[in-house]
Amino acid sequence: MTVTLKKGQRVSLDKVAPGLTEIFVGLGWDVKPTDTGYDFDLDACAFLLGSNEKVISDQHFIFYNNLTSPDAGKSVQHTGDNLTGEGDGDDEVINIDLKKVPAEVQKIVITVTIHEAVERAQNFGQVQNAFVRVINAQTTQEVVRYDLVEDYSVETALIMAEIYRKDGEWRLNAVGSGYQGGLQALLNRYQN
């Protein structure tokens, strides 16, 4: 059974799905009928943070040009860029093997940004039905889901969720925070 979260809610992944070790994080969205003259290209990313709340290294920023985390177990893997977001279901997916994530990674921040948003006059106010969900990779059962319902009419970057360690277990925080400035705003926040 899926646990549905609202903005700001937190849940222990161990409590909602005991024994959960391999997940995939699916992100999806639809574009409202609007014409900016360009296709919408939304990009999911994962920032692997240390205890200082900063990306451990450039290789710990997982996105369409760096699909795999640098650890030997390749614990975090982006499955690739979806350039249109068309169709139902997950538009982009990030696989995470929780038992292989190195101890130095304290938090995995899941984000979505709009590619070339300023140049294309696009923002998240033109996007609807955005969601992030955690699926048990072994059973394909949806474990946790967070649907964004807020109107982000000027934002071009969103922090969707955080998967983090606390008291020896993995937890998820439904963040839903928007930023202006696209991907660069998030890089500025998380890079040393």
Residue with tokens 């982009």: 92
Can you give the residue ranges of every domain in the chain? 3-190
The CATH code for residues 3-190 is: 2.60.60.30
Q: Which strands, in side-by-side order, build the sheet including 169-179? A: 10-12, 169-179, 157-166, 107-114, 42-49, 61-62
The pLDDT assigned to 85 comes to: 47
Residue 27 in tokens? 């992100």
The pLDDT assigned to 40 comes to: 81
Most distant pair of Cα atoms in the chain: their distance: 49
Strand 22-31 versus strand 169-179 pairing type: unpaired
The pLDDT assigned to 88 comes to: 61
The pLDDT assigned to 91 comes to: 86
- In tens, the pLDDT along 97-110 reads 999 999 999 999 99
φ/ψ of 190, rounded to 5, equals -105, -10
The pLDDT assigned to 87 comes to: 54
Q: Which residues of the chain have pLDDT under 70?
A: 35, 81-88
Separation CA 115–CA 40 (nearest Å): 8
Q: What's the pTM?
A: 0.93
- In tens, the pLDDT along 23-44 reads 999 998 888 877 677 788 889 9
